[in-house]
Chains A and B, each alone.
Chain A
Amino acid sequence: MDKFIRIDGLVVPLDRANVDTDAIIPKQFLKSIKRTGFGPNLFDEWRYLDHGEPGMDNSKRPLNPDFVLNQPRYHGAQILLARENFGCGSSREHAPWALGDYGFRAIIAPSFADIFCNNCFKNGLLPIVLDTASVDDLFQAVIATPGYHLKIDLEQQSITAPNGMVYRFEVDAFRKNCLLNGLDDIGLTLQHVREIKEYEARRKTEAPWLFT
């Protein structure tokens, strides 16, 4: 997994609540058996005027000029500013894959759906929860200011705005450590092989029907 330490990234505002994983990456693209290549189809139904299917040349498809990601001032954005309950719905990890493949490294919102949030951390994508008032402030600032960047420092758990305002955020210590060091969860868990085997041995006597 890619490390996440600090970034200084362009911010794009996606001003709607309850953005679900079907919107982030529509189901027809879930037929892929790979982890990569989802970026061009991120927010496909909002981003393009035609209907997208796997295998199409996305560079030739008509873009929806009203969709915020298509506005030239937001090209190259690494930070997505969003509203509450971002990533609700399906458990598809294709959602963070698509966001990461597009180039996003962090998402700021008042709240995230649990499974999506979990999936982000497994893919080097940092979901940051800020209170609604701070998110409102950021929405106003980013819309008012072309080229609006934020500095995100995971070590310090801080976001610094161009005006010097600093927003602090909480992050689970374990996940923070994994992101800072790009650690692989499976490798970490396999350090506990002995305990897993002991648990199984004990459980087999307590609840043998689980092992038939």
Chain B
Amino acid sequence: MSSALLHTQNLTIGHPKDGHPLARNLNLSIERGQLICLLGPNGAGKSTLLRTLNGLQKPFAGAVWLDGQLLSKLDPTQRAKLVAVVLTERVQMGWATVQEVVTLGRFPHQAGWHARPTPTDHAMVASALQAVHIEKLATRYFQELSDGERQKVMIARAIAQQPSLLIMDEPTAFVDWLRRLEIMQLAQRLAHDCTCAVLMSTHDLELALRFADWVWLLDEDGQLSVHTPLQLVDSNDLQRAFPSSVPEELTRLLAHIGMNRNAG
């Protein structure tokens, strides 16, 4: 357990103001090199869980340990060097170029208020742009880009932050199918090639089952189950988590994936 990049100890998530937590007593762990997809119906608390794991929101109860330290005790810069995020909120950057937005990812690595980007900063930004295949957009203005391109810029910005853990909240929402595939491939490559872990929420069941090393399934009752994609297909948890979804669709999808497995 101590080797885990992140682990939680009886973590309960939710807004204290709401009175009742969304999910209780979570004991989760994330290791470097893993791509973890968080699935679950709307309103189950996926975003709240992600926000709690990166420190944007305080735990209702319990604790989050990051790299052997309590997340709540880390200072902001230290935390920013360990965790980067891609959120769902729309960003408006005015006259900022893609290059400038991605360079913001270097903020926690730049000391002092006057510091100019160092050669390391430039190199990291360049490789982040390259990782997401948007080198050509570098000098374009952020506000002129399409939604899909903006999403990629935000991912590049997070990569430039050189995190040990990359947390993305529905990065595949609002982008076309090809881009979704691209983002999933990128997430997998980041997790498997680098020494970082990727945790992302998504509604894309099929892609999640195809790419994830682990699937965290959060259902409406706040139950979180952890499976490998194959275990998940064999279990009843999916049907339990999505009771309202079209059962035939789900069954067909699972059968399809099961077939692929048998074939492979």
Q: Do these two chains really belong together in a complex? A: no
Give residues in A with beta carbon < 8 Å to B: none
Give residues in B with beta carbon < 8 Å to A: none
